[in-house]
Amino acid sequence: MQSFVLYNSEQRKKVEFVPRKEGHIDLYVCGMTVYDYCHIGHARTVIAFDYIIRFLRSQGWQVKYVRNITDVDDKIIKRANENGEKISDLTSRFIDAMNEDFAKLGCLEPDASPKATDHIDQMQNMIGTLVDNGTAYPANNGDVYFEVEKFAKYGRLSGRKLEDMQAGASERVDVEVEKKHPFDFVLWKHAKENEPSWASPWGNGRPGWHIECSAMSTCCLGNHFDIHGGGADLSFPHHENEIAQSEAATGEQYVNYWMHAGFINVDGEKMSKSLGNFFTIRDVIEKFHPEVVRYFIVSSHYRSPVNYSDVALKEAKNTLSRFYHSFKAYQQAYGEVSTQQFDDALVEKFNAAMRDDFNTPEAIAILFEINKELNRAVKEENAEQAGIYYSTLRHLTNILGLVQYNVDEFLKSDIGQETLGLTEEQIEDLIQQRKDAKKAKEFAKADEIRQSLLDQGVVLEDTRQGTIWRRAD
């Protein structure tokens, strides 16, 4: 395995990764609050860490991937009450839906998926430690708060300082009279009517959101682990608060590296239900093939903001189809068999791009370079070179979780098919018409058909095995 660099959000720069244990990486990613279907923003984060993990494992790293499930929360309680159903029924239904959605997007399952309700004891133990060492305090209303002024390094992840945040704090945070400081955050919430609760030393209640991730991550990975990830929106206050309560409780550094996936905007605006531009994963894959959605996300750097639109997804469909058409051309000429021999220089070029903070735009540019060489080798009927490029391309697309479908199955999919212009059946029909025209010595007509296809982005290659076609590069 080789070293790699990643952007550490806490240091605000790219740094070389140094594992705590040789050859091993422990990675925790903040997961979903399961009260509704997952949206396209969730897909952005989960797919990003999915291809990061796939790449690291392809390089020989042993990655333990933990992604939690928040199954007790204000929004969950509110939705269950609105639906008139048990909280456990609601969360179970949406956990199943979440797993179905991410499976369709080609995402690997985490090695562990801890649920908050299964770790109440660990949360209470951590809160008890914080109360005992004076960094947390029970309030008269039955809540327990973390006292941010007792943690000297509060704000180090987000780059914020308490003294700067205090100005106008009453306009930005809920200032409760029970708090000692406006930014003190709740660790344990006192029980309210019609809400789930657990017995605790501070009375019946339930955990706050932030303590859930600290308890689950340290339970699964230890007090100090390698990488913590999540969406950029979680950096403050969630991840900032995780650091404070975890380090105050354990006396150890919580995490070595912080990674945050960028936002998804919709037509240039932040995705929001109030703006009517909120899309669930299920909304999107009704219109576009799931792998098109994956390609759309993979093709942007994980830290960059992404602008979602139907136009962008249609472009992704057309671009991804180029790989499928090249594979089809190879398979038409030589069958399914590949050499399992790779072009080592191109593989290394791809790996170097990914080792540089998982630079997928550069990696995909290299895939298209290989794709072009594959098409050239097929055209020139160089079976040996074609086999090497085909094997290389299939190996590298596998690392990104792309081109995973049967070629004909993907190309014949009617999801987003209108974006392709001519369908495969129409192209094959025109090729047959051209063949019939040549047989009848109507060469002008044959040339017209060839040019018509070229004008619509379809390139024909006449080989000894017959005419094959591909989308123009």
Q: What pLDDT does 163 receive?
A: 74
- Residue with the bigger pLDDT between 177 and 429: it is 429
* Mean pLDDT of all residues in 246-257: 98
Query: pLDDT > 70: what percent of the chain?
Result: 93
Instruction: Categorize the per-residue pLDDT at 172 as very low, low, confident or very high, splitting at 50, 70 and 90.
Output: very low
pLDDT tens digits, one per residue of 217-227: 999 999 999 99
Q: Which residues have a Cβ under 8 Å from the Cβ of 73 and sit 6 or more positions away?
A: 33, 35, 116, 209
Check whether 173 has a pLDDT greater than 90: no
pLDDT of residue 422: 72
pLDDT of res. 313: 94
- What's the confidence (pLDDT) of residue 469? 81
| Residue 51, pLDDT above cutoff 60 | yes
Q: Please report, as a single letter, which amino acid is at residue 413.
A: S
What is this structure's pTM? 0.87
Q: What pLDDT, on the 0 to 100 scale, is given for residue 412?
A: 82
Instruction: Return the CATH architecture of domain 19-275.
Output: 3-Layer(aba) Sandwich (3.40)
**Residue 155: Cβ within 10 Å count:** 21
Angle subtended at Cα 263 by Cα 299 and Cα 72, rounded to the nearest 5 degrees: 120
- Give CATH 1.20.120.640 domain extents, the chain: 309-412
Residue 464 has pLDDT above 70, yes or no: no
* Cα distances (Å, whole numbers) of residue 121 to 80, 118, 199, 200, 365: 24, 8, 10, 9, 49
135-144, 170-179, 317-326: lowest mean pLDDT where? 170-179
1 in Cβ contact with 60 (< 8 Å)? yes
Please tell me the distance from the alpha carbon of residue 294 to that of residue 44, in angstroms, as a whole number.
9
- In Å, what is the CA distance from 215 to each residue of 132, 151, 187, 211, 257? 17, 18, 11, 6, 18
Query: Which residues are known binding-site members for Zn(2+)?
Result: 30, 213, 238, 242
Q: Is the pLDDT of residue 264 over 50?
A: yes
Please give the pLDDT value at position 174: 53
What is the predicted pLDDT for the residue at 446? 86
Q: Which run of H or E residues covers position 266?
A: strand 264-266
What average pLDDT does this structure show over 390-408? 96
For CATH 3.40.50.620, the residue range(s) in the chain are 19-275
Has residue 278 got a pLDDT over 50? yes
279-309 tens-digit pLDDT: 999 999 999 999 999 999 999 999 999 999 9
In this prediction, residues 86-98 reach a mean pLDDT of 97
List residues forming the annotated binding site: 30, 213, 238, 242, 273
Annotated binding site for ATP: 273
Q: What is the mean pLDDT of the chain?
A: 91
Structure tokens belonging to residue 93 = 């239904």
Residue 98 clears pLDDT 70, i.e. is over it:
yes
Q: Does the pLDDT value for residue 4 go beyond 50?
A: yes
The reply to whether CATH 3.90.25.10 applies to domain 309-412 is: no
Measured between alpha carbons, how far is 443 from 436 in angstroms, rounded to an integer? 10
How many alpha carbons fall within 13 Å on the CB side of residue 242? 27
| pLDDT tens digits, one per residue of 434-458 | 988 888 888 888 888 888 888 777 8
Average pLDDT over residues 38-58: 97
